[in-house]
Structure 1
């Protein structure tokens, strides 16, 4: 309950540490790595999942970090499915690499954080956000003395896990963040742009050219022409000239067939019939919550009312019109059948403003708490100031300094203590009551209620449509039979054809993948793929609502792509280059655009707005080579040589080069902007270079 969750003074440090851990996310994880100068939690473990420049990465430490990040995402409301888990693993792995390579750089440069600097981080003008939130006083100012006192007290508690967490995790994370800031600052300050460069860029970007040209499209040469055939040797030669562009990670590919184990029409009918048989009993059940539990409903009972405008369910109009105690269904709602029972109706506000004073029954005995809240009630009814009493006596830190006031929307009903929620939503404006909840005694006043509309309390008996045992057995049996008869590539293909099964392909499956495109989550299948040889056929794997039998078809080793692998990416480029040679020969030694147009059966075209600063030519497309040639003054006196463009071979003649107004751009402003942009990207570019230079060994696939 948001009103009362932070009331326990004795647990204030627990709240402080939880906030700290959440807000410092990726920094906190640093503390669990057995890196240089700081041992991990299980530093003696010899089980490693890889290394960075010889620094081993321990499996237990890595998994602990992964779990921490998963917990943080879940606290923020993200669903922790297999896709998210794979993303988290990659995120943590990349962070481990970064930390190791950066630590080496820190050591080389002598970057450290002194105790005095750490004091400044904690208590200076820009403290960590979590500390600022925890120790901001009533005037909205960071209370340095309160923070110092609290941290000093925490440091004294040597056996307190929170104290250990603070010293072993939180403080090192802050220091690591400061070292990274220093490193990025050092790199950023190495960039310099001379004024002449900024002036030249302004001048170049204002240039405008007009030109005449002939464009001979590549599609004027047939793809089947012998002279434009692309061989493996052509592709290999192209790759060797552009190796950086064709680097690949280790990966594998499979062909697979699947056997559906999705619920059949009979399965769906069985679920529906089961609910139909429970309709009468559901309608007469005196305790709907117990009935739903007893009959394994997928939807738990919500003992509250839902506003008409918020009731977003199938058949909502029919359900709203039901009398109390009546039922409707079964009806389909997504992948489930549902029977709805109307429990009750009433008018409710969409929003409520209230105020309260809490006396905790956890920091006081029940009798003391009751006596105190009664005294507070008597004082207020006698004319005492509510806000003053709240500030003095309320044990709800979330509202005591705001006069005890809160605003709640109707959607928050279920997150509040039931007794509290019923007073503010079911009562009327002006109500003043003492109620007891699991947190203690509250004196509550309802200040305002807005936007009343009908609301409904409904119980939903829900059953998912799932495959029956028979359906599962049929699919499993068919998959096992196919796998048993298809123990090699030839038999796999023949049986797939004979049984009219569709063969599907999954490519570029990496050793650490959890998800397979088109199949879903199946780490077990990926493990089999990692160990298989080309032509091997798997046993059936149960993935979601199907059974899959896979055959390994390809192994791609880390390094440079093979010609076969690269062909889909580069074949058209190489073919276009060959077509350009054919077209250039057709153009020959012609010395006028008109002659070239006649020889190639094209037209002489014109463009009067070619901008140096733009990669596009109006009505032509993205042709940077042509744009560059248009600003070559040599092409003003004669036509250009043939230019191999993206879509055609071009021959141009520049008619004129002029300048547009530069809009009064100041060279010094431009220069500063260029340096600022370089400095902002310095950290990322440096990290990218360090990663590429690092000796990273990734053995996660052998363990995870």
Structure 2
């Protein structure tokens, strides 16, 4: 049990320790989307499928790990989406490596995992709660003690939250142990590849010379932007020839869709805003006459800021409230007023203000017996013993309490959803004086708390806040809904939508290359059903109207094109190829004009039409040159660094953003001594840094299919 006490003293889990937040680690309804009878797969890797049920289990497992390690009790939509993506990415990467490792006979034994645990230096272990409080490093003895305690745990003889905590901790460790094995296997495979990369004295010497030989240039550049694109003609045959030359660059391994869509956001009308304003005015009048139960009153207003009978730091309130609190008199009403930043009407009443310690050091004992009567009797006995001078730490150990003093701040409750029991505990704790003890009765247990120290005195406020968002009414929504429905009914085809959307006040948006691994259309929440439709529809199809966002968006989608897996068609990459041909033709024209001038000095370069000049220093073959005059990185200048002759004007050369004429005015060799072994190692290290790209090659080879859009 002592191990658990140390672990529970860390971070946000403190709230759980003192029983102030009795939340369960449960997944939200968003996860409950799979039915037991479903057999569809969410993906495929090298012919091996991952079922929806198995993927769901992985997601739930990682969700519990995230909540446990962060101290959160629930996750928002963005966090759950990130978890789903991370689970899929990790599963794919691990499966790819496992398949290759199996062919090579690479394995990770239990003895290796135990050796990693004994050594304790792996970064994964450093992220666990099993840390030495003095060093902050992973402590294998704490882990061993926990595992022994868990194996002997009798849930029926310990408080529910302790048992739950142990169970969550064990699941967390199981996840860590699995990840240790996976990371070790990946490390072995990567080392096998990197060790196959070697260097030699010739390569090492060349790399050294490329780095130490530098040049300073005078640069004259004629930007491609000096010639209008419209003046350059590009034929279909030129496009086709370049496409065939670069076809492999346009290989697409996942199908994508091109769409057009109309997103209608429902906004409050002037009538809606006036109604909310009147409602807040009426509540404000009532607020002035409330005598005691502000918790109930504020709840009836449906304010965004719930009231708890506690003192809060000013920063715990919304920004607009915090900015006005100091200038508001105790007992007076401020408002109502409109806050444009969050689109709310507001009023508030400062009930009290005090200077109080924000950090409390305390220790506590939780007393729970078979019945409420026995719990009360035992708690009273313990409390009276402490009040009579008995040692708190000794009694705490006897009742599995927390003998070590711990620090807590008001951040433990500020911004949290609090029950009446939570408020009771926090209020008691923060109102106790140093060395004072309290016996707090709760339905499930008694908590005996003793304050050891206090610090960080600051101003605290007790404020009743009415904050209501200006939302649209049902009538407003129905009007927007009906108008848009009529438009869709009258324009059921893409051609008609294209022709009539603007005239009806709707903006037709376009998105090319939408992939099924994405989660939204146009960044709008709740568009999963629309995404699923897009990837099941045919070119030219128009969807039904979807209600999405946070019940404030209406959406219709049309599929304008399907880019299938394989080589992207010429018409899809046409603009990209055309831009390259135009650039090359501009370069040819500019270079021909410069050559015709027979320039012999850099001063003459300044007479070139549309020229810009600059100087670039310390250019080497190993370091790309950046020319600020054209705002572009220009590797062509780096390529000439080791061979260009001092003070000799170059001919025109084609760069990324311009045609250049340059003249080296200084060449320098860095003062480095060549060390063959060191240089060979640098070359090997450089090559090794590219090894991580092997996963992409394995991904392509394994023909990975991501069909999660069918479920999420």
1:698 pairs with 2:709: no
TM-score normalised per structure 2: 0.79
What SS is found at the alignment partner of 1:57?
strand
Aligned match of 1:627: 638
97-106 or 311-320, which deviates more:
311-320
- Which of 606, 625, 638 does residue 616 from structure 1 map onto? 625
Specify every segment of 5 or more residues in structure 2 that has no aligned partner in the other structure, as ranges: 1-11, 28-34, 156-162
Task: Determine if the alignment matches structure 1 residue 490 to structure 2 residue 500.
Answer: no
Offset at 1:56? 1.1
The 5 Å alignment of 1:535-684 reads 535-544=540-549, 545-587=552-594, 593=600, 609=617, 611-612=619-620, 613-616=622-625, 621-632=632-643, 642-651=652-661, 658-663=667-672, 668-679=677-688, 682=691, 684=692
1:339 corresponds in structure 2 to 347
Deviates more, 1:542-551 or 1:362-371: 362-371
Query: In 2, Cα distance between the equivalents of 1:199 and 1:591?
Result: 38
Rounded to whole Å, the distance in 2 between the matches of 1:307 and 1:153 is: 40
Deviation of the 1:103 alpha carbon: 1.3
- Looking at structure 2, the residues matched to 131 and 535 of structure 1 have their Cα atoms a distance apart, in angstroms, of 51
Q: Is the 8 A contact 1:644 1:650 kept in 2?
A: yes
Do the aligned partners of 2:212 and 2:672 also contact (CA within 8 Å) in 1? Answer: no
Of 171, 176, 181, which aligns to 1:175? 181
Count of residues paired in the alignment: 659
1:479 CA drift (Å): 0.5
Unaligned runs of 5+ in 1: 9-13, 23-40
User: In structure 2, what is the Cα distance between the partners aligned to 1:79 and 1:313?
Assistant: 24
> Does residue 123 of structure 2 align to residue 117 of structure 1?
no
- Measure how far apart 1:53 and its partner are: 0.9
Q: Distance in 2 between matches of 1:138 and 1:497?
A: 67
Deviations 1:165-224 (A, max 9, x none): 699866544433332232233233333333553343232222233667764443454433
Query: Which is further off, 106-115 or 260-269?
Result: 106-115
- 1:205 aligns with 211
C-alpha distance in structure 2 between counterparts of 1:606 and 1:331, whole Å: 57
CA contact (8 A) 2:616 2:625 kept: no
TM-score (norm 1): 0.79
Q: Does 1:65 align with 2:58?
A: yes
Q: Which residue of 2 aligns with 1:95?
A: 90
Find the residue that maps to 1:646 and give its secondary structure: coil
Q: Distance in 2 between matches of 1:406 and 1:143?
A: 20
Is the 2:545–2:556 contact (alpha carbons within 8 Å) kept by the matching residues of 1?
yes
Distance 1:156 1:318 in 2: 56
Query: After alignment, is 475-484 or 73-82 more displaced?
Result: 73-82
8 Å contact from structure 1 (residues 258, 479) kept in 2: no
Q: 2:305 maps to which residue?
A: 299
Shift of the alpha carbon at 1:548?
2.8
Which residue pairs with 1:688 in the alignment? 696
CA distance in 1, matches of 2:268, 2:613: 63
Structure 1 counterpart SS, 2:506: coil
Instruction: Indicate conservation of the 8 Å contact 1:123/1:148, yes or no.
Output: no
The CA RMSD measured in Å over matched residues stands at: 4.4
Cα distance change on mapping 1:90 and 1:651 into 2, 3 Å: same
1:239 maps onto 2:243 in alignment: yes
CA contact (8 A) 1:212 1:604 kept: no
Shift of 1:303: 1.7
1:348 match: 355
- Partner of residue 409, structure 1: 409
Q: Distance in 1 between matches of 2:146 and 2:571?
A: 65
Name the SS for the 1:106 alignment partner. helix
CA contact (8 A) 1:211 1:656 kept: yes
Preserved CA contact (<8 Å) 2:587 2:654: yes
**Equivalent-residue separation in structure 2 for 1:655 and 1:122 (angstroms):** 58
Q: Does 1:5 align with 2:16?
A: yes
The equivalent position to 1:274 in structure 2, one of 251, 275, 279, is: 279
**Partner SS, residue 90 of structure 1:** helix
Shift of 1:100: 2.0
| 1:369 and 2:374 are equivalent in the alignment | no
> Displacement of 1:434 after TM fit?
2.9
Partner of 1:278, secondary structure, is helix
- Quote the offset at 1:619 in angstroms: 5.7
